[in-house]
Structure 1
Amino acid sequence: MGPRSLVVTLVVAGCAALTAAAAAPVDPPPRSRLDVVTARGELRVCSTGDYPPFTHLDPETGEWSGIDVEMARDLAARLRVRATMVRTTWKTLTDDFVAGCDIGVGGISVTPERARKAAYSKHSFVDGKAPVARCADVDRFTTLDQIDQPGTRVVVNPGGTNEQFARANFRRAAITVHPDNTTIFDEILTGRADVMVTDAAEGRYQSRRRPGLCAVRPDEPFTRTEKAYLLPLGDAVFQRWVHQWLDRALHDGTYHRITTPWTG
């Protein structure tokens, strides 16, 4: 075969390969959760329902309320779909979100562990861990060292950042896990526990509603924690939509209107 014949053969072969590649079926790009939610007509919202002022499920009426619950409903309204609340627990939050929800809300702290399975929105709230105790005992629990003493009874709710914080910082104090975060502050008021370290926002909220209970130095928390919403991992389209919605809500008065009744 001469040089010219070889060139012609290579060109023909190359064209045939390009034609075959062009004719091969191309998989469509995966649908964004934005399209799925819109087509479904429903935004599925995972939340624990036990963390006011961010999320609360009334055990008697079954009604949901809270800052982040109302924000999720605003998001659904902007999408022109209904919001359906899906109850979860702090221990199973991330797995339940991945398995069946479009967004997770309710005072969710940004942590590296959760980021392995889910993305986050921009943060909506900045908070930190601070003690809650009987008002008569406020001066006993202003520092970590004061709390971490033999004889101090620390109570925590299971599976979330409160339990993680307590186990990382308290070696001498006794830690008790109370399974119900809606009644956990009664453990302190009745004297069965001495102190809980939780988000300052929750401490303020509970101290306003429970005489005898006081948030300890809530303006000077032990940590800095960003609160955000869980979003599907790898879905840039849905993430951008939620980011833009949240940015607008934070600046057009929507977030302020929703938070004021809860935070005063």
Structure 2
Amino acid sequence: MVKIFTPALLTAALVGAQITTPDSPLAYGNLTSLLDTILARGYINVGTTGDYKPFTYLVTNQTSLPDASSINTTHIGADIDAAQSLSNALGLPNPPRLIRTAWANITSDLAAGKFDIAMGGVSLTLARARSVFFSTPVQRVGKTACVRCADAAKYPDLASLDQPGVKVVVNPGGTNEAFDRANLKSAMIVLVEDNNAVYQAILDGEADAMISDRIEVELQARIHTGELCIANAEPFNFEELGYTVPRDIVWKHFVDAWVHVQLGSGAWNATLEKWLNYKWPAV
């Protein structure tokens, strides 16, 4: 059927069409994005836990810095370098300001405006995605068990770990604890506040296993060659790491564009490999 427009209907249609003309700004065009705030401020606030090698590590008096000039003197790691790369991409005159957070507080601290972005091996979870935005993922991982090499054959899967008398150590508040509580019903879950000390607990015989992202377990196996080993050949689940930002779509789009360039150019892989090969302290 051919529709016939009367003058009145045609006028109404033209008035409605004016809403989408190029001269009319989009609804969010009049809003100030966090991106604008960061550019005006001159630096980026980065939340990081400082306890997740190879992504973020708080420098102590015992830490030997890399031979190459370190970008930051308080923290080191792949995502600390990435924070500076993001700052450079923004053209900011000042280095990133690193703000300590805890795994249990990442989303609440971000929502409270304590920092602009959380970096440091943050797992993408639906629970976190309810209150914050995630960037494009930078790394695919998955939960993997780290055990003493002498016991590796005893724990090939989750069922063998989830037995009475088995002690699984974990840092509280993050996806590692959430995974343990969801999947381990018979094993004893032992909480250790310092994520840097959990693997020492296995070495000392105070725990039998630690379940974490595969990349962290691989690094610990490198650091403690012949002492700590990966128990399961394939990760227990599917998981990705990325960066979290407040629910600001303009800022998220910029971060996504930067991540896209980092991945496509190979810069991220080069940075990660650098820190995987770094001579990390034992704890």
What does 1:2-81 align with in structure 2 at a 5 Å threshold?
29-60=30-61, 63-81=74-92
SS of residue in 2 equivalent to 1:91: helix
Deviation at 1:28, TM superposition (A): 8.2
Equivalent position to 1:244, from 257, 261, 276: 257
Q: Confirm or deny: 8 A CA contact 2:135 2:252 kept in the other structure.
A: yes
Question: 2:159 matched to 1:128?
Answer: no
Deviation at 1:77, TM superposition (A): 1.1
Identity score, percent:
39
SS of residue in 2 equivalent to 1:31: coil
Find the aligned partners of 1:261 and 1:245 in 2 and give their Cα distance.
20
For residue 85 of structure 1, what is the aligned residue in structure 2? Answer: 98
Q: Confirm or deny: 8 A CA contact 1:205 1:262 kept in the other structure.
A: no
What does 1:202-213 align with in structure 2 at a 5 Å threshold?
202-211=216-225, 212-213=227-228
Q: TM-score w.r.t. structure 2 length?
A: 0.80
Aligned CA-pair RMSD: 1.7
Unaligned runs of 5+ in 1: 1-26
Deviation at 1:63, TM superposition (A): 2.2
Find the aligned partners of 1:262 and 1:173 in 2 and give their Cα distance.
33
Unaligned runs of 5+ in 2: 1-27, 64-72, 278-283
Cα gap change, 1:114/1:190 in structure 2, threshold over 3 Å: closer, same or farther? same
Q: Report the count of equivalent residues.
A: 237
Q: What amino acid maps onto 1:72 in structure 2?
A: A
Find the aligned partners of 1:150 and 1:173 in 2 and give their Cα distance.
5
Question: 2:168 matched to 1:167?
Answer: no
Q: TM-score w.r.t. structure 1 length?
A: 0.86
Q: Confirm or deny: 8 A CA contact 2:52 2:216 kept in the other structure.
A: yes
Deviation at 1:40, TM superposition (A): 0.4
Find the aligned partners of 2:253 and 2:206 in 1 and give their Cα distance.
47
Find the aligned partners of 1:186 and 1:149 in 2 and give their Cα distance.
22
Find the aligned partners of 1:71 and 1:152 in 2 and give their Cα distance.
38
Q: What amino acid maps onto 1:201 in structure 2?
A: I
Find the aligned partners of 2:188 and 2:160 in 1 and give their Cα distance.
13
Q: Confirm or deny: 8 A CA contact 1:43 1:102 kept in the other structure.
A: yes
Please identify, of 56-65 and 159-168, the stretch whose mean Cα deviation from structure 2 is larger: 56-65
